[in-house]
Structure 1
């Protein structure tokens, strides 16, 4: 059975930091999507940098995972879904 090395107060703080970091990253990626949308509106697909768009989507996935890990840390102290 995995045990956490952090005290409950520290786990809650680390979880909160994960949630805040994930939330800020979501905001940043939404702003980046706005930039891509304005580029697409101005020049069509030729004006959109596909690498930039793919990295934005990947970073959005990372942000959601950070929020999920933070939520789990605050709730029960485990990041994984393993029983116990």
Structure 2
């Protein structure tokens, strides 16, 4: 029981600041590819993030257009939260 409590406290200590400070609200204005979108930040600056940890089919592969259409249906012209994982 004590061990579980320590693990929970460590999890909260190491993950809470990440969720608190790193996400920001953006509006999706374009779907460039299946896993790459163009978003408009709060300061009206365009950003081109790529989805992390997502394996998408490319346009030339079978069902590639279906993957892009799915992304389009789910987030195009919607406001979402962007959480940076790597800046490069």
Task: Give TM-score scaled by structure 1 length.
Answer: 0.29
Give the number of the structure whose residues are more often helix, by fraction. 1
Q: Which has the higher strand share?
A: 2
**RCO comparison, higher one (Cα < 8 Å, 6+):** 1
